[in-house]
Structure 1
Amino acid sequence: MLNPRATNDDLTAKARIRNAAMDLFAQYGESRVSLRAVAAEAGVTLGLVQHHFKTKAGLRDAVDQLVSEYFYQAVHSVPNTGTSGEVAAARDEAVREMLRENPAVVNYIRRAILEPDPAQSQFLERLVELVRSEVLFLREAGLASTTRRESTQVVSVLVRQLGELLLAPMIDSVWEMVDRGGDTPKPRLTITVEE
C-alpha cells in the first residue's frame, strides 16, 4: 500500500507540517495543540505554518484529508475480484492492517469521532462520504447488494471497520476492572452485521 504520509526525507515543508499536526492532534487533541507547537514539531517557523494553512481549521482540514487518504489507499489496495463477501472482507482486513500499522491514525480517529467538538464532525462527514462513494462503486460493479438500502450498507461498513477501534479502549478498561487474574483471555470485540 502506498503510504499517504511518505517519509520525512521526501516531504515538502507543507507535508511535514501536516504530519506533525496529525501526530500532535492524535496525541493531545486538536484543542490542546497550538500552531506554534506544530511549527516546533515540524522544525519550521510559525509564519510558514500560517502561510500554508492560514488557521488551525485549515491545518485540521489537511490532516482530515490525510487520514481519509489512508482509508482510500487501504480500500483501493484490494482488487475488486471475487464475491461481494470476499471483497468486503478483504477491504475490511486492509483497513484493519492500515490501522495496526499507523497508531497515530487510530488515535486521531478516536479523538476526531469521540471528542465532543462540533468542528470534528467534519472528519466523520468526510469519512461517511468516502464510504458512500465506495458503496456506490461496489453496487454499480455488482459487488454489493442493490436490494439493501445504501444507508444500511454505509453504516455497516463503518461499524465493521471502526467499531472495534472505537470500543477497544472501553473494553480494555472494563476488563482491567473485572478480570480476577483467571486463565480466561480478554474478550475481543467482533462486529457482525445482519444481511
Structure 2
Amino acid sequence: MLNPRATNDDLTAKARIRNAAMDLFAQYGESRVSLRAVAAEAGVTLGLVQHHFKTKAGLIAAVDQLVVDYFAAAVSSVPPHGKPGETAAGRDAAVRQMLRDNPAVVNYVRRAVLEPAETRMRLLESLVELTRREVAGLREAGLASTSRRESTQIVEVLVRQFGELLLSPMIEAIWERVGDQQSERPRLTITVGD
C-alpha cells in the first residue's frame, strides 16, 4: 500500500512539518501544541512553518488531508471486484491494517472525533465524503446493494471502520477490571441495520 507519509529521506520540508504536526497533535492535542513546537520537532524554523502553512489552522487542514489520504490509500489498495461482500471486507481489513501500522493516525482521529470542536468537524466531513464516493462506486459496479439506503451504507462503513478504533481503549480498560487471564479478550463487533 502507498504510504501517504513517505519517509523522512524522501520528504520536503513542508511534508516533514506536516508529519511532525500530526505526531504532536496525535500525542498532545492541537490546543497544546504550538507552531514553535512543530518547527522544533521538524527541525525547521518557525518562519518556514508559517511560510508553508500560514497559520495553525492551515497546518491542521494539511494534517487532516494527510489522514484522509491514509484512508483513501488503504481503501484503494483493494480493487472493486469479486463478490459484493468481498470488496467491503477487504477494504475494512486494509483500513484496520493501516491503522495498526500508523498509531499516530489512530490517536489523531480519536482526538478529532471524540474531542470535536466546530473546526474539527472538517476531518469527519472529509472522511464521510470519501466514504460516500466509495459506496457510490461500489453501488454502480454492482458490488453494494442498491436496495438499501446509501446513507445507511455510509454510516455502516464508517462505524465498522471506526468503531473499534474509537472504543478499543474503553474495552481494554473494562477488560482490565473484569476479565480473567484465561479468557480471550472480547472483540468489538458492530452491526448496523437498515
Q: Per the shorter chain, which TM-score range?
A: over 0.9
Aligned residues: 194
Alignment partners' CA distance in 2, 1:133 and 1:80: 13
**Deviation sequence 1:61-94 (CA, Å, 0-9, x none):** 0000000000000000002111110110001000
Shift of 1:182: 4.4
Contiguous gaps of at least 5 residues in structure 2: none
Alignment partners' CA distance in 1, 2:147 and 2:184: 40
Which position in structure 2 is the counterpart of 1:100? 100
Alignment partners' CA distance in 2, 1:79 and 1:121: 29
Which position in structure 2 is the counterpart of 1:86? 86
Which position in structure 2 is the counterpart of 1:50? 50
Alignment partners' CA distance in 2, 1:2 and 1:147: 34
Matched, 1:161 2:153: no
Alignment partners' CA distance in 2, 1:148 and 1:22: 37
- The residue type paired with residue 70 of structure 2 is Y
Contiguous gaps of at least 5 residues in structure 1: none
Shift of 1:176: 1.5
Alignment partners' CA distance in 2, 1:163 and 1:65: 21
Shift of 1:142: 1.2
Alignment partners' CA distance in 2, 1:182 and 1:49: 49
The CA RMSD measured in Å over matched residues stands at 1.1
Shift of 1:185: 2.0
Percent of aligned pairs with the same amino acid: 75
Map residues 29-48 of structure 1 onto 2, 5 A cutoff: 29-48=29-48
Which position in structure 2 is the counterpart of 1:183? 182
Map residues 64-75 of structure 1 onto 2, 5 A cutoff: 64-75=64-75
Alignment partners' CA distance in 2, 1:122 and 1:194: 27
Which position in structure 1 is the counterpart of 2:19? 19
Provide the secondary structure at the position in 2 that maps to 1:81: coil
**Deviation sequence 1:160-188 (CA, Å, 0-9, x none):** 11101100001111112223x44222211
**Deviation sequence 1:79-126 (CA, Å, 0-9, x none):** 211111011000100000111111111111101100132221111011
Shift of 1:32: 0.6
**Deviation sequence 1:27-85 (CA, Å, 0-9, x none):** 00111100000000000000000010011110000000000000000000002111110
Provide the secondary structure at the position in 2 that maps to 1:135: helix
Matched, 1:147 2:147: yes
**Deviation sequence 1:126-160 (CA, Å, 0-9, x none):** 10011001111111111111111110000000011
Shift of 1:193: 3.3
Which position in structure 1 is the counterpart of 2:121? 121
- The residue type paired with residue 123 of structure 2 is F
Provide the secondary structure at the position in 2 that maps to 1:123: helix
Alignment partners' CA distance in 2, 1:71 and 1:170: 23
Runs of 4 or more, structure 1, over 4 Å off, are none
Q: Which sits farther off after the overlay, 59-68 or 168-177?
A: 168-177
